[in-house]
Amino acid sequence: MTFPIFSLRNLLAPAFEKKGLAQSPLMLAVTEVSSPGSWQSNVTRAEQRRIIGHLLQGCLHSDSDVLLPKMGVTREQQLFFIVAATGQIGGEAICKRIRENLAEHIQQAGLTLSTSYRVLGMIKPPAGEPLEEFRDKAAANIEAIMKQEISLRMVKSEQ
């Protein structure tokens, strides 16, 4: 399992710094796109990743929502992660938009789609904790959850 070099903390900074979001929860959406059997080629896989990434970007409605860079590839699945400053209702809405926006493309390409989310907690740091320290902890927590999601799928694909 390899992870790209990017700073999750820096990517999430807009969600923490946007005024009015201090009382908002963070949500992590996981979208899994699979090709039954395996992908035809690495070129096909890369092209599908580009198209799907573009379609997923269209599902985000806030400048504090972030489609994270490429992570989590197994033989059959590609995973896409979105972090958004929203709670359960927003998580459900984002997952619904994902299913609707990707449905036609997924069907035409002969792929399968699964999307889910989990609410992670509030953006506001506990009293007395500096925002930077809290942001570092939140980024580490999100990264750990992402690694769990990737590991779970890797185990499934090996079975």
Rounded Cα distance, 149 and 156, in Å: 11
**Mean pLDDT over residues 11-20, rounded?**
65
Residue type, 84: A
> For the domain 15-158, what is the CATH superfamily, name and number?
ACT domain (3.30.70.260)
Token pair for residue 137? 């902890």
Q: What is the pTM of this model?
A: 0.83
**Percent of the chain residues topping a pLDDT of 90:** 28
Task: For the chain, give every domain's residue range.
Answer: 15-158
> 59 and 98 in contact (C-beta within 8 Å)?
yes
Total residues belonging to the chain: 159
**Is it the case that residue 6 has pLDDT exceeding 60?**
yes
Rounded Cα distance, 118 and 114, in Å: 14
Per-residue pLDDT at 2: 46
pLDDT in tens, 20-59: 555 678 889 999 998 876 677 888 888 888 999 999 999 9
